[in-house]
């Protein structure tokens, strides 16, 4: 993958911190591609471009959402923490010519916004995990997630990530997206794991 095709654009629209984060997520996606037999170029592209709209002002995000005809299913989706994902997908499609539906769906739903045809694909869950475990992150609680996702236990990693987010987001004043709750319900049923798993403290 020739990252120079995209890095010039990202440097113009992202802060240096966000750009470094994007490089970190790209690298994690490269590594997870080996673990989960993903296409490496697709994985790295999604990792690099996933936050293309993250540093835009809220008004810009809303304007681009209107331009892209993005539908809001929940009131919380107007918040930048959720809205930046589908707007990022729109931007990289419009400005960089990205047309791959797997990449665009993964970017669009990595904040749990919407549903998308590939919402529950391993590719999309890898991107959500990579977003949290890239080396530049210093958040408490993701060490266990890192070990689980690299061990090839993706559904378990997805459940860990969702359960961590529903505790973390209210602490910083952000409402929990209903898709997070639904993902926990589905993953818990699939894995036959109860709340005790979700509440276990990181060791």
Mean pLDDT of 64-93: 97
197 or 139, which is more confident?
Answer: 139
**Which pTM does this prediction carry?**
0.92
Task: Supply the pLDDT for residue 201.
Answer: 42
- Decide if pLDDT at 50 tops 50: yes
**pLDDT of 198 over the 70 cut:** no
Instruction: Please tell me the predicted confidence (pLDDT) of residue 202.
Output: 47
- CATH number, domain with residue 63: 1.10.3210.10
What pLDDT score does 137 carry? 85
Count of the separate structural domains present in the chain = 1
pLDDT single digits (tens) 98-124: 999 999 999 999 999 998 789 999 999
Place of tokens 């109860």: 194
What pLDDT is stored for residue 196 in this prediction? 46
Q: Which stretch of 31-40, 135-144, 160-169, 172-181 has the lowest confidence by average pLDDT?
A: 135-144
Domain that holds residue 54: 4-199
Q: Is 44 left (phi over 0), alpha (psi -120 to 50) or beta?
A: alpha
């Amino acid at each position: 993958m020739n990252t120079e095709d995209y890095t010039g654009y990202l440097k113009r629209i992202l802060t240096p911190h966000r750009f470094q984060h994007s490089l970190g997520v790209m690298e994690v996606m490269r590594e997870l591609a080996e673990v989960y037999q993903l296409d490496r170029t697709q994985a790295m592209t999604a990792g690099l471009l996933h936050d293309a709209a993250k540093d835009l002002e809220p008004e810009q995000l809303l304007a681009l959402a209107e331009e892209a005809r993005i539908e809001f299913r929940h009131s919380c989706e107007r918040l930048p923490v959720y809205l930046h994902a589908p707007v990022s997908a729109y931007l990289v499609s419009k400005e960089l010519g990205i047309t791959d539906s797997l990449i665009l769906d993964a970017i669009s739903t990595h904040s749990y916004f919407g549903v998308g045809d590939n919402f529950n694909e391993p590719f999309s869950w890898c991107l959500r995990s990579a977003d949290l475990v890239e080396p530049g992150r210093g958040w408490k609680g993701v060490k266990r997630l890192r070990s689980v996702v690299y061990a090839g236990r993706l559904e378990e990693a997805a459940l860990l990530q969702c359960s961590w987010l529903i505790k973390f987001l209210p602490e910083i004043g952000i409402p929990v997206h209903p898709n997070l709750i639904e993902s926990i319900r589905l993953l818990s049923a699939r894995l036959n794991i109860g709340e005790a798993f979700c509440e276990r403290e990181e060791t």
